[in-house]
Structure formats: structure tokens, C-alpha cells
Structure 1
Amino acid sequence: MRTALTAPQGSPNTQRHGFAPPPPEQVVEERTLVFEGFAYECRIVHQDTPRTAPLLLLGGSSQNRHSWQGHEKWLAPLCTVITVDLPGYGSADFLPARYGIDFLAAAVQHVLVETGMPPVNLFGGCFGEVVGLRFAQLHPGSVRRIVFCGAAMRLPEIYTDAMPRLARALERGETEAAAGGLVELFMSNPAAGQVRRHAAVARLLHRQFMNQTPDELGKAVEHNTRLVTHGCYEPLPVPDVPTLVFTGEHDTLCTPQMGRELAATIPAARFTTVKEADHLVTVERRQESSELIGRFCTDRPIDDLPYCTPVESPGAGLARATAHR
């Protein structure tokens, strides 16, 4: 276990968006944990005077526990923030594809048990939504609120079509071609609509893919095999807790309609899209997505945010049916 004091990055816009300025110091704890023989890493930014339950952030397959440090300036003043490299991802041990989503959901529960965390506010983005939803379904008592981003109940066709081709390119050592294909997969076509920082984020994503180590490439291939083998959704009950599903309005990977479909299966779910963003909304509009997550997790209004489309309630019919049983 490693503990350090860090000075969080400030922001001149925190007051304008209604966030309290961060404290001068934060205690950041890094822990190595072991689940079923697989070592993995956990990062905890502690908040001694929280306004809400701890926030557990589960990111996409290409993100790691450090990918959310840019969001901490807005989220850490509100609560303890937890990020994790689950087995098979980031700097954790390699996880064979025979271990499916249930295993990763159990590993998430292991994080909370080992760190002594109370029930959490859960955020899951892209693949993190797949793991987060299964975690919420299997461990409902560990969840206070749910926020999903870039969510879907099925593997997008463009993903299942592209991945075998990109995997073959990697096997042939054609890293440049694979990186270009992955950028096209995760980011919208510029003709789809205006996306903030589109060119800059595309360059960042391309560089990230090009700089992957052999270990990271191996994990990426195994990740694809895991998803194709085990699927991404099981129709199990979801805890009846406040839930928000959102994505970028121009998301072409997990489209807004896919997000609505997932939200419609959750009784308390609300849905919105963030303007001028696509699947990588949490990167393209980091401050706005952080504010949206923070407001929802502290029970503040989200209905009239200027960067969001009107909030919908796709699960309202399911909620009424459940209430009348």
C-alpha cells in the first residue's frame, strides 16, 4: 500500500459551475490487491468531508486507474474517488478470456470489501458499464446510485465487424493501420456533427494506441475475445436506485438509442446526451461530464444544463409496472 499527499489541480471555472474549490491537500492511496490469484491495482483519493457516498469509476478497456486524474479536480471535492485496474487491464495481471464478466464484477466487490468502503455511487463508461451493470445486478446492496456512459445492451455491429480485422492487423505487426482503425471505431466521423476537441482527441487516442506495450496489446486482444465469448449483457434485475445513462449526442459506437434501450430496462433511470461530443464524451467535455456526474451523485438538478439535451425517463413505464405489482 502506498499513500501520498498531492495538491489537486485547480480550475478557474469551479465556482461558475457550482463546485466548491478543492482542499489544499488530498490523501491519495495506491493499493495492490489480489483476487482469486490475480494481482490488480486500486487508487483511492480520500475526502474527509464528503457530500455523498464514495464514487467508484470504472472506465473503458483502454483506460486505467490514472485516466481519471483530470476529472478529480471536480469530483474529489465532493467525495472519495476510487479507480481500479481490474485483473486483465492496466497494470494488473493478465486475465485469460475464459474469465468472464461475472468474474470482473466479483473483483469489483472485492475492491470494496478489501478497502472497507460503504455502498458506492457507481460510474461505468463503455466497457466499465458492462462490468458495472453486472456488479450492480449481482451485488445490489453495494450500490447507492448508478451513472452509465456510452452504454449498450449488445455489442455494436461496427465493433464486431471491425475487431477481427484489427486483430489480424496487430498479429501482422501493422500497428499503424490498427491504431487508425481503432480511432475510427471509437470516434465519430467529422461529418456526423460538431465534436469538441475532435482532432486533438483523435491524435491523443492514436498516440495512445501506438505506444502500447506488448503486454498491453496482449490484454487488448484478450479483452476482445472475452467480450465476444461472454457477451456484454444479462437480463438480471437491476437495483432500484437513482440511475443516469448518458452519452455524446454524436456517439456512433454506442449510439444514443442504445443508451435509451438500456435506460428503459432500469426503473429509476434517466437519459440524456451531452452536446458536441461522441463516444469519448468524458475526454472531449471533461469538465461538463464531471459536473453532470457530480450533480447527479449529490442529488442536484440536471434538467436544465446548457450542454445537455432534454432529460428523458425511458424507464418510467417499467417503474409504474413494478410499483403496481
Structure 2
Amino acid sequence: MQTGPATPSSDTDLAAAGAFPRQKSARGAAYFEAGEGDALLLIHGVGMRLEAWAPQIERFSKTHRVIAVDMPGHGGSDRLPVGSSVTDFVAWLGRFLDDLNLGRTSIAGHSMGAMISGGAVASFPGRVARVAYLNGVYRRDPQAKAAVLARAEAIRAEGVDKEGPLARWFDDEPNNRRARELTRAWLEQVDPEGYAVAYTAFAGGDETYADCWPEVACPALFLTGSGDPNSTPEMARAMAAAAPKGWARIIEGHRHMVNLTAPEAVNAVLAEWLVAEEKPA
């Protein structure tokens, strides 16, 4: 289902994107927690940090216990070893759930965070109340797979790439300038080794849990931007068709960082997902 055109983001929406105070789990994961109620766990993508969820933290901490976590090697979280795969990142998430003594939890992930959330619902489905897969990849075609593997190799050799992601993730729409500036700042802050480890796992991980969706019994939302060149609407629709309780939402006129560039539209869809027991009609 197409959603749009979305209300543009504003500086007010993103004002909370300054540094959030962090706690540290017993095994080295940094996180921010706010609100009370059912748990909602937010996992960002490669090169980002938990502040990338600022509009969602502000909105849903009014109704839920929101926990936004820094992915390994990002923000304040300890790294995983060189050579870690996406399955190692999923195992890390399982340990984080243990450390916080979380029961059944709604998990929303963006980009690689989406890949991790998909791995979670495949690996320990009893702990996932519902899953939201924002701007996530699924069975890249040969050209896209070759491109992402080449980027992973360049990152290992040359370090963090900032301009490439910004060019892919944003268009030249003036209303997106603030989100783009924040994203650039986060890319500049990321630990180079943590970034390389995560990106390598991300580049090779799109098939790892691709077959899981027919077995996922919980509500599953697949959301992306209509202009996202890598996490495409076709991918979102294919996963939604495979999941028994899956549905797709496409935010018209936006790209990869849609939760920042169209926060009102994304928050409205997430609010629908958080109360869904079946896929919407």
C-alpha cells in the first residue's frame, strides 16, 4: 500500500536528535530508555546511532517503554569481533534482551537494524510480539549484491564512506536538509572498525534469514520509501506477501532515512502496527 505524499520533516521534529543519555547493559550494549508500558525496541542501521530514532522516541515514549539501542561498534556499544556475521549480531540482540530481562517485545529495525530484527523473529520468535522492517533489504539482485560487496571491501580498505551513503539516502529536497546534516554528523562520529565489521555483515546478510517470513506468526510491517534505491518497494512487498500477517507501507517521495525525513507518516504507520494483531485489511 502506498502512503503519501508524506508531511515533510521539520527542525522541531528532529530537535530531540541531540545526544541521549545512555545506560550500559551487563555485556556492553549502550541504550536509552524512556516511557512506560509494553516494550518497543528500536535498532538503527550501519553508521548511525540511537539518536536516529529521535522522532520515534519522542512519539512512542508517551505510550510505551521505548528502548533504543546502539548497534555493536556504534555510539556507546562495544564492538563485535572482526569477521562477525549477521547471525552474530542477532545473537548479540538475544543477549541484550536477556540483560534487560525483556519478555515479548515489539522490535522495529531500520536498514541493518531491520535485518537484525528479521533474524530475531526467525531465531527466537517467542520473544518477539511484532516486527517492523524499515528500509530493509531482501534478496538483492546480482547487480545490487556486487555493488554492496564492493562498498564493503572499500570500507575495509579505506575507512568510513560519508558521501556515498548521503547521496543514496537523500534527495535534494530542501526539507530534508536537517536530517541530512544530522546523518552526516553521525557518520563522522562512528568508530571505523565497528562500521567496517557491521557493513561487512550487512553486505553478506541479505539471504541469511530471507526464507523465514512464511514461518513468522506475529504481525510484520515492511516499510520503505518509494525512492529508496537499495531497500526497494518491491523488496518490501515481496516480504509482506511471504509473511502470513505481513503488510507493506510505501512512503511516497522519500528515500532511505524515511523515519527522519517523514516522521509524521512513519509514526502513524508504526502506531497502527503497535496495536495490530492481524495484518490490516
Q: Does TM-score exceed 0.5, indicating one fold?
A: yes
Q: Distance in 2 between matches of 1:225 and 1:170?
A: 8
Mapped contact 1:130–1:233 kept (Cα < 8 A): no
1:81 pairs, out of 66, 81, 85, with: 66
Is 2:134 the counterpart of 1:149?
yes
Give SS of 2:23's match: strand
Contact 1:54 1:82 in 2 (8 A): yes
Q: Aligned equivalents of 1:182 and 1:165: distance in 2?
A: 10
CA offsets 1:95-130 (integer angstroms, 9 cap, x no match): 224322222222222222221222011111111111
Query: Closer, same or farther in 2 for the Cα pair 1:82/1:59, shift >3 Å?
Result: same
| C-alpha spacing 1:169/1:109, structure 2 compared with 1 (3 Å) | closer
Specify the alignment match of 2:167 in structure 1: 184
Map of 1:255 onto structure 2 = 232
Q: Which residue of 2 aligns with 1:205?
A: 183
Residue by residue, what CA displacement relative to the aligned partner does 1:34-63 show, whole Å, maximum 9, x if unpaired?
44xxx221222131xx3xx31111111122
- Give the number of the structure whose residues are more often helix, by fraction: 2
Asked if 2 retains the 8 angstrom alpha-carbon contact of 1:64 and 1:90, the reply is yes
Question: Aligned partners of 2:174, 2:268: CA distance in 1, in Å?
Answer: 17
1:102 aligns with 2:102: no
**After superposition, where does 1:137-286 map in structure 2 within 5 Å?**
137-155=122-140, 157-158=143-144, 160-161=146-147, 164=150, 168=154, 171=157, 178-188=161-171, 197-209=175-187, 211-212=188-189, 216-234=191-209, 235-236=211-212, 238-286=215-263
Distance of 2:148 and 2:123 partners within structure 1: 31
Give unpaired runs (5+ residues) of structure 2: 1-11, 14-19
Which residue number in structure 2 is paired with residue 290 of structure 1?
A: 267
Q: CA deviation at 1:265?
A: 1.9
Counterpart for residue 42 of structure 1 = 31
Per-residue CA deviation, residues 54-104 of structure 1 (Å, 9 max, x unaligned), is 111111112222332332221111110011123333322222243222222
Q: Which deviations, in whole Å up to 9, do the C-alpha atoms of 1:148-199 show, x marking residues without a partner? A: 11122234644642663585478457x7xx42222123335x5xxxx67244
Q: Deviations over 1:13-34 (max 9, x none)?
A: 9xxxxxxxxxxxxxx9843224
Query: Aligned pair 1:33/2:10, yes or no?
Result: no
Query: For the Cα contact (< 8 Å) 1:88–1:95, is it kept in 2?
Result: yes
Runs of at least 5 residues in structure 1 that lack an aligned partner in the other structure = 1-11, 14-27, 304-310, 312-325
Q: What letter matches 2:104 in structure 1?
A: P
Aligned partner of residue 244 in structure 1, secondary structure: strand
Confirm or deny: 8 A CA contact 1:251 1:277 kept in the other structure: yes
Please give the alpha-carbon distance, in whole angstroms, between the structure 1 residues aligned to 2:261 and 2:174. 6
The separation in 2 between residues aligned to 1:169 and 1:31, in whole angstroms, is 29
Counterpart for residue 321 of structure 1: none
Is this contact kept in 1: 2:224–2:255, CA < 8 A? yes
Label 1:126 to 1:221 Cα distance change in 2 as closer, same or farther (>3 A). Answer: same
Higher-Rg member (1/2): 1
1:119 pairs with 2:104: yes
Task: Work out the CA distance in 2 between the residues paired with 1:301 and 1:155.
Answer: 28
Distance 2:128 2:137 in 1: 20
Is contact 2:53-2:259 (8 Å) kept?
A: no
Aligned partners of 2:275 and 2:215: how far apart in 1? 21
Cα–Cα, structure 1 residues 284 and 160, in superposed 2: closer, same or farther, change >3 Å?
A: farther
Number of equivalenced pairs? 262
Q: Which has the higher contact order (CA 8 A, sep 6+)?
A: 2
Return the alpha-carbon distance in structure 1 between the equivalents of residues 152 and 97 of structure 2.
35
How many angstroms apart in 1 are the aligned matches of 2:200 and 2:277?
40
Determine if the alignment matches structure 1 residue 63 to structure 2 residue 48: yes
* Amino acid across the alignment from 1:217: P
Select between 91-100 and 255-264 the one with higher mean Cα deviation. Answer: 91-100
Which one of the candidate residues 113, 121, 127 is aligned to 1:128?
113
Structure-1 separation of matches of 2:145 and 2:170: 12
Tell me which amino acid in the other structure corresponds to 1:227. Answer: F
SS in 2 for 1:118: coil
User: TM-score, normalised on structure 1?
Assistant: 0.70
